[in-house]
Amino acid sequence: MSPSDNESVPKVSASHTWGVMAILGRHLWPKGEKTLRLRVVIALAMLVLAKVVAVYVPLLYKQAVDALGSTAAQAVAVPVVLILAYGGARVLSQAFGEIRDAVFAPVSQRAIRNLALEVFDHLHALSLRYHLERQTGGLSRVIERGTQGMEFLIRFTTFNILPTLLEIALVGGILWSLYDWRFSVITLVVIGGYIVFSIMLSEWRIKFVRRMNDADTEANAKAIDSLLNYETVKYFGNEAHEARRFDVGRRRYEVAAIHSSRTLSLLNIGQGTIISIGLVAVMVMAGSGVVQGTMTIGDFVAVNTFLIQLYMPLNMLGFAYREIRNALVNMEKMFGLLEVPAEIADRPGAPALKVGGGEIVFDHVDFHYEPARPILHDVSFRVPAGNTVAIVGSSGAGKSTVSRILFRFYDVASGSVRIDGQDIRAVTQSSLRAAIGVVPQDTVLFNDTIYYNIAYGRPGATREEVEQAARLARIHDFIMALPQGYEATVGERGLKLSGGEKQRVAIARTILKNPAILLFDEATSALDTRTEQEIQRSLEEVSRGRTTVVIAHRLSTIINADEIIVLDRGRVVERGHHADLLALNGAYAEMWRRQQEAAAEAERQVEEPPSLRSEGHLRVAE
């Protein structure tokens, strides 16, 4: 980010800061949690006790010094008692602080956990459109830094800022009541100057922190994107290109980090200078008091001890303020995620979908991803309960859009989609999606065991049910032949398995889900012919007796469908049985002829002797 970009750097407004603090306060004083609220009260009591004892320590120190200066007192045990009391007070001050931390820890950790869970749940509630546009690496970094910022903010606000402010008030009152009022005024003026200087310089520095965070997020997003596409990088030999893209963000981070480090040094020097000026001024006054006889040596030592004891947490206060501002910057984007509206939301009081036979009706549906880009135009069709309807068409015809609308990843622009007479917009999304089982074209598996990926269809299923689903999907024998069996890991996105094996896992978990409606979204189009035929038999068994929608590319897989819907540029142009559509000699018949010719050509190439193939080229059969 260049210097000219400063204006584009977002600021943490006062209203936003108080909004964040209000959210944290709500979680630190949780409604209905009497035990946690009691812990907050006890922790605050320990905080006050720790500081009261801490400010009494210099007074004990003063009395011990004065006692040692008296000839008569040196012969008795008074100085020893005072010294022991001084040591005990220091121990008590620390003990109260540690008890406070231990009592409050469950409160702060519960708040952090609940806030992180709130963000995570909200991300899953956002639309498919949002997740198609976002970068996973950058998003994970935002959440990670935001969660760390919350933890820091809670810890330092509760255990540093509040205790320091309380200690400043107590010390100011003691200096005013025991000594000259000027001691309190000078001390408070120095503290005020220190705080103002720290705030002003920290506010100036905050833009460098934002630049560092933006550069870090950018570099991390590029790194994860590159690693997820490891094979593609290797195919094109673009390792150096990916390294350059990654280094752009790291270079920006490096420049911002250097500026941040230099300005931090300037801030530390200024803070140290202000503290030293205040300390010297007060000690000169105390020394004059001793010379004039208005103060004892013990008073001189006590004043010095008060100030050093006060300036130590004040030094931490400067650090805490800087880090709290950094935490607020980190939390800006994470809390900003909560402000992203859910495009698809349940209506207030929406009932659950009641599935009978599972009849599906698309009634004059129009749809667009963007107003200037219409996708579906007046699409109407009906899938009777227990029937199979196939939807075919050329690339871009709107086939997969139908599946996304049915699953309610998007809402229609006009018209309606009904299941057993219920508009899917009027029921809860969870009940709708529970009723539909999907086997997609590109099955992405979790980087976990095969067992976990099958059981994902119904996490509470027994092992026997999981294995039975695998048998129905014709993958149980393959799994048992693996050295680790069901505990074998599938790798990132399931890359350790072949396309056919991944599809069988997808079928198995859909069987385990046991939905009333099945949706096959080009589930076999990426497979070779032999694997496709095997998978097709599994799909036919699974769909028997269930309402089924098949989004198909290869027409040979849907010739037995009860009805075939042909889409062209988002419109229904033909519909009927396979034989009827061939007899029409229209769009479907043309697609069928092309695929049959392509299949014949592929078979001919497989059978053709190598000597007849073009020199320098290898023809690959589908």
> Bigger pLDDT: 225 or 435?
435
40-55 pLDDT per residue, tens: 888 888 888 887 887 7
DSSP for 514-547 reads --SEEEEESTTTTS-HHHHHHHHHHHHHHHTTSE
Lowest mean pLDDT among 30-39, 369-378, 396-405, 543-552: 30-39
Contact 7, 209 (CB under 8 A): no
Q: State the pLDDT confidence band at 465, using cuts at 50, 70 and 90.
A: very high
Most confident of 75-79, 148-152, 331-335: 148-152
For residues 165 and 305, membership in a common domain is answered with yes
Tell me the C-alpha distance between 524 and 548, whole Å: 15
Query: What would you report as the CA-atom Rg of the chain, rounded to the nearest whole angstrom?
Result: 36
For residues 473 and 596, membership in a common domain is answered with no
DSSP for 407-458 reads TTSS--SEEEEEETTEEGGGS-HHHHHHTEEEE-SS----SSBHHHHHHTTS
pLDDT of 134: 65
Q: Where are the alpha helices (DSSP H) in 293-397?
A: 297-339
pLDDT of 6: 35
Tell me the C-alpha distance between 551 and 406, whole Å: 12
Residue 329 pLDDT greater than 90, yes or no: no
pLDDT of 123: 79
pLDDT of 614: 45
- Domain boundary among the residues 487, 514, 541 is at 514
The number of distinct structural domains making up the chain is 3
The 10 Å Cβ neighbour count of residue 347 is 10
Most confident of 290-304, 434-448, 567-581: 567-581
**Which domain CATH number covers 462?**
3.40.50.300
Which amino acid appears at position 470 of this protein?
Answer: A
Lowest mean pLDDT among 293-302, 313-322, 445-454: 313-322
Q: How many CA atoms lie within 13 A of 536 on its CB side?
A: 21
| % of the chain with per-residue pLDDT over 90 | 19
311-324 mean pLDDT: 69
Q: State the pLDDT confidence band at 322, using cuts at 50, 70 and 90.
A: low
- Domain boundary among the residues 514, 538, 565 is at 514
Contact 478, 214 (CB under 8 A): no
Tell me the C-alpha distance between 197 and 206, whole Å: 14
pLDDT of 133: 64
Q: Which residue has the tokens 């799909």?
A: 539
Token pair belonging to 310: 């006060």
Contact 200, 270 (CB under 8 A): no
Show Cβ contacts of residue 329 under 8 Å, excluding neighbours closer than 6 positions. 12, 149, 206, 209, 210, 213
185: helix, coil or strand? helix
For residues 427 and 452, membership in a common domain is answered with no
> Bigger pLDDT: 336 or 419?
419
DSSP 489: B
Q: State the pLDDT confidence band at 156, using cuts at 50, 70 and 90.
A: confident
For residues 167 and 205, membership in a common domain is answered with yes
Q: How many residues does the chain have?
A: 622
70-103 pLDDT per residue, tens: 655 555 555 667 677 767 777 887 888 788 888 8
C-alpha closest to that of 417 among 403, 431, 399 = 403
578-589 mean pLDDT: 92
**Which domain CATH number covers 12?**
1.20.1560.10
Q: How many CA atoms lie within 13 A of 527 on its CB side?
A: 26
* pLDDT averaged over every residue in the chain: 80
The range of the structural domain enclosing residue 504 comes to 443-514
For residues 119 and 141, membership in a common domain is answered with yes
For residues 424 and 461, membership in a common domain is answered with no
Q: State phi, psi for 547 to the nearest 5 degrees.
A: -70, 125
pLDDT of 17: 64
For residues 216 and 196, membership in a common domain is answered with yes
Torsion of CA 182, 186, 191, 193, to 10 degrees: 140
Token pair belonging to 342: 């859910």
> Bigger pLDDT: 64 or 101?
101
Q: State the pLDDT confidence band at 606, using cuts at 50, 70 and 90.
A: low
User: CB pairs under 8 A, 24+ apart, for 364-369?
Assistant: 364/414, 364/415, 364/416, 365/405, 365/412, 365/414, 365/415, 365/416, 365/417, 366/412, 366/413, 366/414, 366/415, 367/398, 367/401, 367/405, 367/410, 367/412, 367/413, 367/570, 368/413, 369/129, 369/410
Residue 333 pLDDT greater than 80, yes or no: no
Contact 284, 300 (CB under 8 A): no
Tell me the C-alpha distance between 477 and 38, whole Å: 57
pLDDT of 432: 93
C-alpha closest to that of 388 among 547, 554, 581 = 547
Residue 335 pLDDT greater than 90, yes or no: no
For residues 150 and 260, membership in a common domain is answered with yes
266-279 pLDDT per residue, tens: 888 888 888 888 88
316-327 mean pLDDT: 70
396-437 pLDDT per residue, tens: 788 888 988 998 988 999 999 999 999 999 999 999 989 999
3-state helix, strand, coil in the chain (%, to 5): 65, 10, 25
Q: State the pLDDT confidence band at 69, using cuts at 50, 70 and 90.
A: low
For residues 222 and 317, membership in a common domain is answered with yes
> Bigger pLDDT: 432 or 286?
432
For residues 298 and 422, membership in a common domain is answered with no
Contact 227, 260 (CB under 8 A): no
Contact 345, 127 (CB under 8 A): no
- Domain boundary among the residues 293, 313, 339 is at 339
For residues 525 and 479, membership in a common domain is answered with no
For residues 523 and 556, membership in a common domain is answered with yes
468-513 pLDDT per residue, tens: 999 888 889 889 998 999 999 887 667 788 878 888 888 888 889 9
Show Cβ contacts of residue 376 under 8 Å, excluding neighbours closer than 6 positions. 365, 366, 367, 368, 398, 401, 402, 405, 412, 570, 571
356-384 pLDDT per residue, tens: 889 999 999 999 888 878 899 999 999 99
Q: How far apart are the first and last CA of the chain?
A: 49
Sign, Cα dihedral of 536, 541, 542, 543: positive
C-alpha closest to that of 190 among 297, 275, 286, 314 = 275
C-alpha closest to that of 215 among 261, 256, 260, 263 = 256
Q: Which residue has the tokens 């034989």?
A: 579
Q: Which residue has the tokens 């939905």?
A: 515
